[in-house]
Amino acid sequence: METDESRELLESLPELQADETFCFDCNPQVPCFNRCCAELTLPLTPYDVLRLRRHMGITSEEFLNTFAIMRSFPDTGFPLPMLRMLQGPGEPCPFVGPAGCSVYEDRPGACRCYPLGRGTKMAENGVAERFFVVREPHCHGFDQGTQRTARQWFEDQSLSEYNAANDRYMRLMALVRATGKPLEARLATMSVLCLYQLDKFRELITHMRIFEHVDIDAARRAAIMEDSPAGDVAALEFGLDWMELIIFGKSQGLNKK
């Protein structure tokens, strides 16, 4: 999920071609281990929050209040939670310790992607990708490791689910951006609930009887309302479709009755 600042940064970096390889590894034996996990400007995608709050066993509201600083994309009005660094020397990530990342299995997509950056734009056949190499002065990860292409690195870091969810969100933001104006305040508020607070979104679905107003089969209804990691993924997909429907009156994945 790109902000204006991250987009400008990516464009300033050397591009990695699809068949080009790079050498990198990160582990406790690398001298700079954990150095990159501090003073971060790290946006959290809906899928990041979905995974992290499940990992921690807390509600989405608790997670956002504790670990995020809420901002918004100026051009679209969509929410832009930033990971809240700890106060004190070095401003470390709240999830990092001497042994490394305490949420490693569910760490954010940006952390998995590093040291690569992924730039995307909508294309006729889906999403067009470009890859960039981020080299920071303190990083010794390039001194050792395995030669990989960008796609091999993404596969190694289990990024496919992250990228799929982020690309769907990017498509929705691109549609809003094309209108030339950000979301109305009420829709921006609704998007926080539908995309970042899936547990509360389920309550809204029940309270507003949303399923009665859309064409949706029983299997998808059950998947969305299931309180589980898989249910959260289904709820996020529905949330994106629902937001597109209420903003534009139509959606690629959902129809009104």
Residue 99: both structure tokens together? 């042994």
Burial of residue 256 (number of CB atoms within 10 Å: 0-12, 13-18, 19+): exposed
Whether pLDDT at 245 is above 70:
yes
- For the segment 129-150, the average pLDDT, to the nearest whole number, is 89
- What's the 3-state SS for the chain? CCCHHHHHHHHCCCEECCCCEEEECCCCCCCCCCCCCECCCCECCHHHHHHHHHHHCCCHHHHHHHHEEEEECCCCCCEEEEECCCCCCCCECCCEECCEECCHHHCCHHHHHCCEEEEEEEECCEEEEEEEECCCCCCCHHHCCEEEEHHHHHHHCCCHHHHHHHHHHHHHHHHHHCCCCCCCHHHHHHHHHHHHCHHHHHHHHHHHCHHHHEECCHHHHHHHHCCCHHHHHHHHHHHHHHHHHHHHCCCCCCEEC
Per the model's pLDDT, the better-predicted residue between 225 and 27 turns out to be 225
Whether pLDDT at 172 is above 70:
yes
In this prediction the pTM is 0.91
Nearest residue to 83 (alpha-carbon basis) of 66, 99, 68, 105: 68
pLDDT of the residue at 210: 97
pLDDT of the residue at 244: 98
Contacts with 23 (C-beta within 8 Å, 6 or more apart), sequence order:
142, 144, 145, 146, 147, 148
Map tokens 């799929």 to a residue: 164
pLDDT of the residue at 199: 97
Residue 41: both structure tokens together? 């400007």
Contacts with 111 (C-beta within 8 Å, 6 or more apart), sequence order:
37, 42, 101
Whether pLDDT at 4 is above 80:
no
Residue 156: both structure tokens together? 């190694």
Model confidence band, residue 137 (pLDDT cutoffs 50, 70, 90) = confident
Question: In this prediction, what percent of the chain has a pLDDT beyond 90?
Answer: 73
Model confidence band, residue 238 (pLDDT cutoffs 50, 70, 90) = very high
Per the model's pLDDT, the better-predicted residue between 14 and 146 turns out to be 146
Answer yes or no: are the C-beta atoms of 135 and 142 closer than 8 Å.
yes
Nearest residue to 247 (alpha-carbon basis) of 192, 177, 165, 183: 183
- For the segment 57-66, the average pLDDT, to the nearest whole number, is 98
CA distance 186 to 90: 37
Question: How many angstroms separate the first and last alpha carbons of the chain?
Answer: 32
Over residues 71-115, the pLDDT tens digits come to 999 999 999 999 999 998 889 999 998 889 999 999 999 999 999
pLDDT of the residue at 9: 56
- For the segment 136-159, the average pLDDT, to the nearest whole number, is 91
Residue 47: both structure tokens together? 């899928």
